[in-house]
Amino acid sequence: KAGVTQTPRYLIKTRGQQVTLSCSPISGHRSVSWYQQTPGQGLQFLFEYFSETQRNKGNFPGRFSGRQFSNSRSEMNVSTLELGDSALYLCASSLTAPSSYNEQFFGPGTRLTVL
């Protein structure tokens, strides 16, 4: 079974631009979560989607948004990029509705560099 795929793997943008990242979950998985990973802040939760609905949102500004499609694929968008948005953006999928036994499987991430 194929794992979580994320595209693109690497991205370079300049301040003020916007970017869209894509995630395809493991086949059959309906929940997708996004995380930002930086050396200073570690792994921080962005948002979680299940059945095209945002179920949970982390403490990030409104410039960060996402959506999920009917095939469970998800995209996240960052508008008006800032230098501090440079990070590894990770997508994770899980099988069922989010629950306390939230076994999540991560993709390889998209490395975003903002110049």
- Is residue 56 part of the contact set for another protein (CB under 8 A)? yes
- Is residue 42 part of the contact set for another protein (CB under 8 A)? yes
Residue owning tokens 């999540």: 104
- Is residue 4 part of the contact set for another protein (CB under 8 A)? yes
Distance CA 41, CA 58 (A): 13
- Is residue 8 part of the contact set for another protein (CB under 8 A)? no
Stretch that binds another protein, among 14-22, 44-52, 62-70, 71-79 (CB under 8 A): 44-52
Q: Among residues 46 and 78, whose Cβ is nearest to another protein?
A: 46
Single out the residue of 1, 11, 10, 21 nearest to residue 74, CA to CA. Answer: 21
Give, as ranges, the residues between 62 and 101 that touch another protein (CB under 8 A): 90, 92, 98-101
Distance CA 96, CA 88 (A): 25
Distance CA 113, CA 115 (A): 6
